[in-house]
């Protein structure tokens, strides 16, 4: 077996827009802007949700070596989803790994990659809710590494939002809603969800405006009060539109929480105000602002896909992706 130290130019990193600035650290916001973010947002950005290592190889064994700072696990997510990696081979799930008691991650996927020497596209997804130091990728001694097959949509879809956006609570890193959509539409993406801290802040809008995206998805409704979503949308969307007036922006409405069965007034206010915001811009001639009805993702009938009545599990994220993908496919002209 041979060890490829990370980073390596043959191992393409996707989903971490500022990686080239700050490598070998895998995080979601750049060091040079650290002082502009609240401390808790910066801390959350150390978890590389949405980060992927992609390459093509004829190796029959693929291993990952990495370390996370601790072995703590939240009560409503798996250790694999929070702290581990998963691997997709030619677009199909092939295995996962989580840290041991010492926080060490070491796994060789030698029973799932293949049985014959041919080139396969490999995608390894990084932890959703834990900082990680990636040390190396392990391959067969005689393995060759080539460029991965490029995404059909090479400019990333950029998602901004909350813990739900970050990936809470997928069972594996590759079953967040963005990951499903990425595989279905063959589209790159960047995950800028911040657990409990998706407040539509101007400093995040400024950072996001550095990314030349194919589409921006605004999904921070779950962290703001009933009246606040509509109030914050103009200040958040405005700077992005100023930089990218022709890039589609999708505003996401609330989906159905289990508690909405008893009182849905908070979410109904958000639905009303977000619809009014999008309608107002559309009537002003903006053809690149779009509204996604959250009930198309998770309605009252799909709440069994929520692990705690709020956060989707992998099934819930599948529902979300099925509801969101048709609109994204349309606005991207696919």
At 94-115, the pLDDT tens digits run: 999 999 999 999 877 776 777 8
**What is the average per-residue pLDDT within 226-248?**
97
pLDDT at 145 over 80: yes
Q: Is the pLDDT of residue 2 over 90?
A: yes
Name the band, by pLDDT with cuts 50, 70 and 90, for residue 73: confident
* This prediction's pTM: 0.97
Q: Rounded mean pLDDT of 254-268?
A: 94
Decide: residue 172, CB within 10 A, 0-12 exposed, 13-18 middle, 19+ buried: buried
pLDDT at 108: 77
pLDDT value, residue 99: 94
- 70: exposed, middle or buried (Cβ count in 10 Å: 0-12, 13-18, 19+): exposed
Domain extent listing, the chain: 2-146, 153-331
Classify domain 153-331 by CATH architecture.
3-Layer(aba) Sandwich (3.40)
pLDDT at 105: 92
The pLDDT of 275-286, averaged and rounded, is 98
Instruction: Name the CATH superfamily housing domain 2-146.
Output: Galactose-binding domain-like (2.60.120.260)
pLDDT computed for residue 111 by the predictor: 63
């Amino acid at each position: 077996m041979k060890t490829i130290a990370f980073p390596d130019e043959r191992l393409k990193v996707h989903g971490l827009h500022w990686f080239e600035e700050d490598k070998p650290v895998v995080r979601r916001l750049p060091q040079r802007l650290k002082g502009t973010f609240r401390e808790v947002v910066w801390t959350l950005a150390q978890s590389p949700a949405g980060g992927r290592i992609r390459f093509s190889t004829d190796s029959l064994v693929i291993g990952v070596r990495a370390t996370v700072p601790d072995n703590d696990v939240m009560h409503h997510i798996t250790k694999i989803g929070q702290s581990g990696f998963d691997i997709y081979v030619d677009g199909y799930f092939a295995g996962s790994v989580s840290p041991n008691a010492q926080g060490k991650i070491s796994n060789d996927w030698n029973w799932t990659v293949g049985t014959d020497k041919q080139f396969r596209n490999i995608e390894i997804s990084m932890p959703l809710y834990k900082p990680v130091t990636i040390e190396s990728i392990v391959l067969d001694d005689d393995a060759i590494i080539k460029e991965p097959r490029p995404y059909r949509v090479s400019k990333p879809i950029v998602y901004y939002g909350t813990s739900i956006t970050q990936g809470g609570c997928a069972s594996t890193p590759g079953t967040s809603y963005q990951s499903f959509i990425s595989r279905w539409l063959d589209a790159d993406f960047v995950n800028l969800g911040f657990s409990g801290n998706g407040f539509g802040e101007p400093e995040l809008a400024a950072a996001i405006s550095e990314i030349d995206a194919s589409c921006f998805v605004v999904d921070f409704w779950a962290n703001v009060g009933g009246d606040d979503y509509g109030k914050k949308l103009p200040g958040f969307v405005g700077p992005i539109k100023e930089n990218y007036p022709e890039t589609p922006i999708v505003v996401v409405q609330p989906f159905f929480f289990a508690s909405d069965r008893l009182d849905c007034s908070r979410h109904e206010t958000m639905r009303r105000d977000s619809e009014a915001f999008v309608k107002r811009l559309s009537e002003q001639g903006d053809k690149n602002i779009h509204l996604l009805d959250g009930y198309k993702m998770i309605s009252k009938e799909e709440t069994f896909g929520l692990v705690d009545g709020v956060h989707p599990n992998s099934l819930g994220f599948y529902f979300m992706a099925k509801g969101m993908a048709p609109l994204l496919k349309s606005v991207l002209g696919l």
